[in-house]
Structure 1
Amino acid sequence: MNKNSRNLVLSSLFLAIAIVFQFIGRVLPQISQIFVGPAVNAVLILSAAICGLGWGVSVGCLTPLLAWLLGQLPAAFGPFIPFIMIGNSIFIIMFYLFKSYEKWGNAVGIVSGALLKFLFLYISATKLINILSLGINPKVAQKLTVAMGSIQLMTALAGGALAIIIINLLKRRKQI
């Protein structure tokens, strides 16, 4: 199998795994933020680390759309999906930019990516939606502000840490 076909299959598998996590979050909403957020963020990083930047960003852009279609993301958050796509892309790109640095590259990429993703999503939820006049109901905007707040930073850091552990295990076993 050539490299492009392999990466297409693997990134599709990563996307399917993310969908399974999102579905679990929909079925068990009480664990949604604690479980689904880190799991999906880990999948985003793993897809970039294993398949490459373009494939990782593709998975990162499709996951919020699919979360919305599955009902994991509230229907009223629909207009915010492009911002989540950009936030995921920022997280993935920052990881990818630093991952090749020797000892601390993965960690620096995760921490800087998580911080920038959080800042982007928080500013988007609190400021940009008003500036762009997306017509989001004030009650929904308040929920959006909470959902795109510090929980985004925590889930990105947790998911990134999980991804680094998996990447290191795969490297030790010479799988990547």
Structure 2
Amino acid sequence: MKYTEWLTRTGLLLALTLVIQMLGFPPFVTGPLVNMMLFTTVHLVGWLGASLVGGVTPWIALMRGILPPPLAPMIPFIIAGNIILVSVYYFMLGRNNYLGIGLAALLKFAVLSSGVRFLVELPPKIAQLMQVPQLLTALAGGFLALILVRLLTTALE
């Protein structure tokens, strides 16, 4: 893929992800959809593009009020979790996508959960947002991405 094509696709995927964030859905809808876009971006533009999208979206979520201000100290962990998610999935892509989704989601959960347990002090109710719900939204997003990629592949053939 040429650089301009990669850059255009990455920009479009970032824009779509930001639109999803800004639609104002509740977190249990927005979370899986954003994760779906991260997994889908791996398929369409690779690791670097997906890492860029995963690095920008937490900042936008904070600025738009999607991410509650008390979670601001978690942004580096969210970015790290997103990059780990796309990295693991990228490595597993084509080998076993289902296992890739599971491992990627589990490692993202481990990063976020460890951040709130050991490094960032947050009120318990806020800290809970960075634990099991993150695992579930990542898993849901991964499986939604498989459906989306299959639909895109079929439509473009």
TM range (shorter): over 0.9
The letter of the residue matching 2:143 is A
Give, in whole Å, the separation in 2 of the partners of 1:119 and 1:4.
Answer: 34
Q: Does 1:50 align with 2:44?
A: yes
Greater relative CO (CA pairs within 8 A, separation 6+)? 2
TM-score (norm. length: structure 2): 0.92
Deviation at 1:173, TM superposition (A): 4.0
Q: Which residue of 2 aligns with 1:64?
A: 58
Matched, 1:106 2:97: yes
Q: Measure the CA separation in 1 of the matches of 2:123 and 2:78.
A: 14
The equivalences for 1:80-159 within 5 A come to 80-101=74-95, 105-129=96-120, 136=121, 140-159=122-141
Separation in structure 2 between the aligned mates of residue 151 and residue 47 of structure 1, nearest angstrom: 22
Q: Retained in 2: the 8 A contact 1:45–1:160?
A: yes
When structure 1 is superposed on structure 2, of 36-45 and 141-150 the one drifting more is 141-150
Structure 1 gaps of 5+ residues are 26-30, 130-135
SS at match of 2:26: helix
Equivalent pairs counted in the alignment come to 157
Distance (Å, rounded) in 1 between the aligned partners of 2:74 and 2:151? 35
The structure with the largest alpha-carbon Rg is 1
The C-alpha deviation readout for 1:74-122, integer Å capped at 9, x for no partner, is 1222121010000011111111000121xxx111111100011111111
Unaligned runs of 5+ in 2: none
Cα contact 1:125–1:141 (8 A) shared by 2: no
Q: How far is the alpha carbon of 1:174 from its aligned partner?
A: 4.7
Paired with 1:144 and 1:123, the residues of 2 have a C-alpha distance of 14
Residue 23 of structure 1 contacts residue 70 of structure 1 at CA under 8 Å; is this kept in 2? Answer: yes
Distance 2:125 2:23 in 1: 21
Q: C-alpha displacement at 1:128, in angstroms?
A: 1.9
Amino acid at match of 1:170: L
Alpha-carbon deviation of 1:148? Answer: 0.6
**CA apart distance, 1:141:** 3.4
Structure-1-length-normalised TM-score: 0.83
Cα shift at 1:40: 0.2
In structure 1, C-alpha distance between the alignment counterparts of 2:61 and 2:20, rounded to whole Å: 10
